[in-house]
Structure 1
């Protein structure tokens, strides 16, 4: 996985800090989970960690890091965290480097609640973790500058009327996400991305910036510095709940991507049994409903979302899953570096 130097340094700092966390909880089994910081980490503590500890007696630490996958990569098989939250393609990429524990259905009996199309498996069919929830990839826009009907199709982003008004994701996500989606729309798939290259080039020519973080593009959209971009449903849901109603999200007629997240056990991690128990517990319906209130939609089918959550999302979880494509993330991860380089070249040429 290609990471900016700043992310690598931050991951190393987080890794150095992690042993003190583990030593502080020296008695019995424990869970130390690497997660992105901020609101997401708070949600994991409240919705997943605290109820798990109360029921099991196993202490849970949610360790906030800039990028969990980068921290596990930096550990090189000597992890201080025994659970990791990651985008599915990131977990698959780490597994290809031998850095993720390979599990079975016997290890994860609650996996039966998750449709197999969302399981992340290696070529031997071994399971790489518990698919936990998803957000979907649609088009975010500032409603003072555009309206939902301006984006009936993903093709709308190639219209030259948006020249200098769009923002692009960083290449590390632009390659796995945007390029894969555009390939699908143009007759390719996750294994054949060539058909998507001209469309990504056309969208990139309309972009004014490559956003370095989710926070930065949220500011760009809310301030009207950019009109639109391909972006994550859950992030827009949280912005609107916080009162920033000038930002909206639309799902084009072709649908978008199911961007699934997975919790995995790093290879050689301590307290493997406690970690696997935590993975199985994570698809508990009450915990999933709590996550959905922050924009994270359940992948498991044993969850009934309350009506107010369905209204916030704009459709039921079943409708969202049906309207969005879930590619084979293991296939995408097999060429993660190549796709990232290609996306970087496309973005650079468009400047």
Structure 2
């Protein structure tokens, strides 16, 4: 009898151990991989997701990514949710890499500003505002994007090359001349004029800052958050002006990678990153404007941002679903006609 009881106890211990091991394994599997931009952006997201981790018993691991690394990670299904931009995100969506966003799991989708919705798999969590930055000691506040091509500013302008903001500028100039994304000739022609005034093509924000610090340039295109940082933190003589034709979004998109094991939880993470609470945090840390219309920023914080609920409709945005289909052609044309 003792032997039988011992066997029963031993069997119970084994069952308990197996169950415990299974629970531990299951807990280890509840991890989401979130690909961000690195630096301050990822640090802000790390603070934001703490409450999500606690509420959902999940570990959110944030890894920085860019360019080819992101493409490989998405194609290999190594990440769950990716923070990106419309160019990359819509190109990956066209490959079938992303899952449609589920409004039942992401109720914050209903509160998004229409300009933040690029497709049923790509949406923007927040916007920066690309405006004209200028040195007020040298020039009057610019009123138009066309001011960048004025002869008096030759050698005093900087831009960042073939990037989304300059694609937006090409599209805007084309539309103002009666063209469009499908007929961008006038846009490329105007950028070629601006290129004659370029002193340097900028590669990084730190370089941008030093150009103003060293009085090497008088105007450029930069985001409102970076302008505020350069002025208020770094003490550089710089201001921002919204041109009369409108301004462009620096868009931080969110997408869920298809085929990963925790798809429902990934959708819930997107909902969390779209929440008003997350929006306020990103505005505080980075100076980005939240796309959730239910977000109310404290007055002192809103006063620091150039983008606000009253002017968000002035954001100009190209048809990015079309742009990504001609992106490589446009880049070749840029290299031939603009940044030669």
TM range (shorter): 0.7 to 0.9
Is residue 296 of structure 1 aligned with residue 282 of structure 2?
Answer: no
CA contact (8 A) 1:135 1:297 kept: yes
The 1:340/1:107 distance shift into structure 2, 3 A limit, reads farther
Q: Which of 249, 272, 278 is the matching residue for 1:287? A: 278
How far off is 1:163 after superposition?
A: 0.7
CA distance in 1, matches of 2:38, 2:274: 21
CA distance in 1, matches of 2:311, 2:288: 12
Could you list the per-position Cα deviations for residues 227-262 of structure 1 after superposition, in whole angstroms to 9, with x for gaps in the alignment? 211222222223334243412211111111133221
Q: CA RMSD in A?
A: 2.3
The 1:143/1:252 distance shift into structure 2, 3 A limit, reads same
CA distance in 1, matches of 2:184, 2:26: 46
Please, what TM-score do these two structures have when normalized by structure 1? 0.82
Which segment is superposed worse, 165-174 or 80-89?
Answer: 165-174
How far off is 1:335 after superposition?
A: 1.4
How far off is 1:26 after superposition?
A: 7.2
Partner in structure 2 of residue 49 of structure 1: 49
Partner in structure 1 of residue 108 of structure 2: 110
Partner in structure 2 of residue 261 of structure 1: 252
Matches within 5 A, 1:285-324: 285-293=276-284, 294-314=286-306, 317-324=308-315
Aligned residues: 315
CA distance in 1, matches of 2:301, 2:236: 17
Partner in structure 2 of residue 31 of structure 1: 32
The 1:188/1:259 distance shift into structure 2, 3 A limit, reads farther
CA contact (8 A) 1:132 1:299 kept: yes
Partner in structure 1 of residue 99 of structure 2: 101
Partner in structure 1 of residue 13 of structure 2: none
Partner in structure 2 of residue 74 of structure 1: 72
| Runs of 5+ unmatched residues, structure 1 | 1-23, 122-126
CA distance in 1, matches of 2:262, 2:203: 35
CA contact (8 A) 2:165 2:250 kept: no
Is residue 180 of structure 1 aligned with residue 178 of structure 2?
Answer: no
Please, what TM-score do these two structures have when normalized by structure 2? 0.85
How far off is 1:339 after superposition?
A: 1.7
SS in 2 for 1:27: helix
Q: Which of 83, 86, 90 is the matching residue for 2:84? A: 86
Structure label with greater radius of gyration: 2
